[in-house]
A and B are shown apart, each in its own frame.
Chain A
C-alpha cells in the first residue's frame, strides 16, 4: 500500500470518529500537502518518514470524550509505552503515530478525554496559530501554513539532537523558500510578516540559524535586536526626473551621508565617500530591505526605525 494511502486510512478513521478536526497534522507529512497546495512545488521535498505527528491544542477540556487508542487499535496499531517518559506511541509496520502538544512542565501531557498522552514541545503555538485547511481526497485536514512551517523549523533547528533530522528539516526549509521565490514571491512577504510578529528572542534564534546553516530568505527584514539606538537623520526627499527615482538623503554633509534612490523596481543605496563621490552600496527589491542593508553597513539605522521613517516621510513601504 502506498504511504499516502496508509496516511489517508488513518485520517479517514480519525474523521469518522470526530478526531480529525481536533488535531493539526505536523512534521514532514506536511510536505505531501504543500506539494499539492502550492502553485508550483517541484522544490518541496517529498516525505521521507513514516512517523505521523498530530498536534493537539491545549486545554484538554475542549475535547469531548473519544477513545483514540481504541480507534488506532481497531486499525491494528499496537500501543508502545515509553516507561521513562510515560509517552505512548502507536505502531503498525513501519508507521508510527505520535501526539504532541504545546510546551508544559512535565514533558508529557495527558489528554484524558482522548485517552492519549502527548509530548510537550516548545514553539508549537506557531503551527496552532498559523494553520489552514487542506483537502486530501474527501477529507479536510488542518496543517501549518508553509510560512509557519519554515519559521518553526528554523527556530527549533538548534533543539534537534538528531543531525539527520535537522538536515532534513533545513533541506525542506530551503526548498520551500526557493519555491516561494521562484513561483509565488508574495508568500515571502507573508513569511516576513509572520517573522515580524514574533518575539525578539524567536527572531534572534531564526537569525542565528539562518546564519549558521547558510540559509538566505529574500525579503526577510532581519531584526537587529542589539543594534545601537542611533538613527540617521533624513535630510531631504526629492525626485530625480531624469532617472525617475525618488531620492532620500540622510545625514547630509556628514561623513555618514547616505543616499537612497527608490523606484518601482527597488531601491539603490550609496554612501558619500571622503571625496564627495557616491560609493555604490547595492540595491534591494524593496525600500525596507535596503534600509536593512544600510543599517548593517552603516550601523546607524535601526530596523524598527523603518516604521518611524514611514510616518516621518509618509512613504508607503
Chain B
C-alpha cells in the first residue's frame, strides 16, 4: 500500500462520514435569518427563510422571549456548522485530487 493510500484514503472516507454527519446535524436546526422589527418601542423577532422559490417569514416572539433566544442560539450554531461543512467539502475536493481516479 502506498503512502497515499495509507494516509489520504482513510482521510477521504472520514471526510465523507463527517460531511454526512454534519449535514444530518444541520438539518435538525432551523434555517434562515432573523429580522428584528420594532413596534411601539419593543423588539420582535421574525425568522425569514426560503421555502422553494418563496421567501417566508415566521413570527418568533419578543426579542427577549425564550423562543427568540433559543432561535437565535440555534441559528448561530447552524451557521457555524455550515461554515465547517464548507471547509470539509473543500478538503474532500483536495483529497479527491490527490487520489486521482482511485475513488
Residues on A facing B (Cβ under 8 Å): 3, 42-43, 45-46, 48-50, 94, 171, 174-175, 178, 181-182, 216, 218, 240, 243-245, 261, 263-266, 268, 270, 277-278, 280, 282-283, 285
Contacts and interface: CB of A to CB of B under 8 A. Distances in A.
B101 interface: no
A283 B72 contact: yes
A263 B21 CA distance: 32
7 contacts: A46-B10, A263-B66, A264-B66, A265-B69, A278-B42, A280-B63, A283-B63
Contacts of B66: 244, 263-265
Nearest to A183: B25
Interface in B44-103: 62-66, 68-70, 72-73, 76-77, 80-81, 84, 87, 91
Contacts of B63: 268, 270, 280, 283
A280 B36 contact: yes
Given A178-B80, A280-B36, 8 more contacts: A42-B22, A48-B7, A94-B3, A263-B69, A265-B66, A280-B43, A280-B63, A282-B72
Nearest to A214: B83
A174 B73 contact: no
A182 B85 CA distance: 13
B21 A42 contact: yes
A174 B87 contact: yes
B11 A45 contact: yes
A187 B64 CA distance: 27
Nearest to A266: B69
A171 B69 contact: no
A182 B69 contact: no
B47 to A, nearest CB: 14
Interface centre among A49, A264, A268, by most B CB within 10 Å?
A268
Contacts of A261: 64
Contact of B65 (A178, A218, A243): A243
Contacts, number: 76
A101 B7 CA distance: 27
Contact of B69 (A174, A175, A283): A283
A265 B11 contact: no
A275 to B, nearest CB: 9
Contacts of B18: 42-43, 175
A228 B26 CA distance: 39
B68 to A, nearest CB: 8
Give the most central of B64, B68, B72, B76: most A CB within 10 Å: B64
A245 B64 contact: yes
A281 to B, nearest CB: 10
B21 to A, nearest CB: 4
Contact of B70 (A175, A181, A265): A265
Contacts of A171: 87, 91
Contacts of A50: 7
A261 B25 CA distance: 29
Given A268-B64, A280-B63, A43 B84 contact: yes
Identify the 4 closest CB pairs spanning chains A and B, nearest first: A42-B21, A265-B69, A261-B64, A280-B43
Interface string B23-45: 00100000000001010011100
A117 B69 CA distance: 55
Contact of B41 (A216, A277, A285): A277
Nearest to B22: A43
A191 to B, nearest CB: 15
